[in-house]
């Protein structure tokens, strides 16, 4: 009789152990719990949240040309402020060119309406003809012009590189109308794979 009771206790203890083991394998993963790798439900594992980048985001250190939207072109324009190596696509170049032309046209129109009765040119406008608004507007325009000068030259050089032309052709900017027309022809050309020769060489891998 005693043997039967002991045997029943052993069976009950064995069943309880199996139940605990089964619950451990199928229950939630708690601290200190262990399960075989195959038993882990990977769909319930927590993953670190990674902030998504905008759809038109491009690394400013990237040398290859990219198809840019207006906002992307503006971002790259100032992120690549002093970057004369690499290439820039037609969209990146013409977005910025169109924006600068629009700013210049708007400035001339506003100074004509509120500044002195005629379009104001910084090199020829008589300061006495400008009222307070016109003077302030001229100052803002001059600041924008100075801030944009260097990155626009760099952008022009990269656009020339993208067409597989030397960046020295950007000196045509000094020849006013004829030079600008010639550069416009260069800037209209499509990308050429050979322009990759103007990219920075990749950094050597560290050796240990």
**Measured between alpha carbons, how far is 198 from 161 in angstroms, rounded to an integer?**
6
- Per residue in 24-79, pLDDT (tens digit) is 555 554 444 454 545 545 555 444 433 344 444 455 555 667 788 899 999 999 99
Cβ neighbors of 145 (< 8 A, separation 6 or more) are 122
Contact predicate 170/183, CB 8 Å:
yes
**Measured between alpha carbons, how far is 84 from 155 in angstroms, rounded to an integer?**
7
**Measured between alpha carbons, how far is 74 from 58 in angstroms, rounded to an integer?**
12
Residue 80 C-beta-side C-alpha neighbours within 13 Å: 31
Higher local confidence (pLDDT), 44 or 172: 172
> Average pLDDT for residues 175-186, to the nearest whole number?
87
pLDDT bucket at 135, cuts 50 / 70 / 90: confident
The dihedral built from the CA positions of residue 83, 84, 87 and 88, taken in this order, carries a sign that is positive
Nearest to 184 by CA among 155, 145, 156, 152: 156
Report pLDDT for 179: 87
Residue 175 has which token pair? 């020849």
Answer yes or no: is pLDDT of 182 > 80: yes
**What's the burial of 28, exposed, middle or buried (CB within 10 Å: 0-12/13-18/19+)?**
exposed
Tell me the chain's radius of gyration from C-alpha atoms: 34
Report pLDDT for 155: 94
Report pLDDT for 87: 92
Report pLDDT for 196: 85
Report pLDDT for 140: 87
Residue 70 has which token pair? 């207006």
The dihedral built from the CA positions of residue 29, 35, 39 and 43, taken in this order, carries a sign that is positive
Main-chain phi, psi angles of 63, to 5 degrees: -85, -25
Beta strands in 34-97 (DSSP E): none
- Per residue in 73-126, pLDDT (tens digit) is 999 999 999 899 889 999 999 999 999 999 999 988 887 776 554 554 444 445
Indicate the length of the chain as a whole number: 208
**Measured between alpha carbons, how far is 84 from 150 in angstroms, rounded to an integer?**
10
Answer yes or no: is pLDDT of 184 > 60: yes
């Amino acid at each position: 009789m005693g043997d039967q009771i002991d045997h029943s206790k052993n069976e009950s203890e064995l069943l309880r152990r199996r139940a605990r083991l089964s619950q451990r394998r199928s229950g939630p993963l708690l601290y200190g719990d262990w399960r075989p790798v195959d038993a882990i439900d990977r769909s319930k594992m927590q993953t670190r949240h990674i902030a998504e980048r905008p759809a038109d985001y491009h690394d400013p250190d990237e040398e290859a040309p990219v198809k840019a939207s207006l906002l992307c072109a503006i971002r790259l324009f100032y992120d690549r402020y002093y970057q004369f190596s690499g290439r820039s696509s037609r969209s990146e170049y013409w977005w910025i060119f169109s924006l600068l032309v629009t700013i210049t046209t708007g400035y001339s129109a506003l100074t004509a309406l509120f500044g002195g009765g005629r379009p104001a040119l910084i090199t020829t406008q008589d300061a006495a003809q400008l009222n307070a608004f016109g003077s302030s507007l001229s100052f803002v325009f001059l600041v924008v012009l100075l801030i944009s000068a260097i990155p626009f030259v760099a952008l022009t050089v990269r656009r020339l590189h993208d067409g597989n032309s030397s960046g020295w052709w950007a000196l045509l900017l000094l020849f006013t109308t004829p030079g600008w027309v010639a550069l416009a022809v260069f800037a209209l050309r499509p990308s050429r794979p050979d322009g990759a020769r103007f990219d920075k060489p990749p950094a050597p891998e560290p050796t240990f």
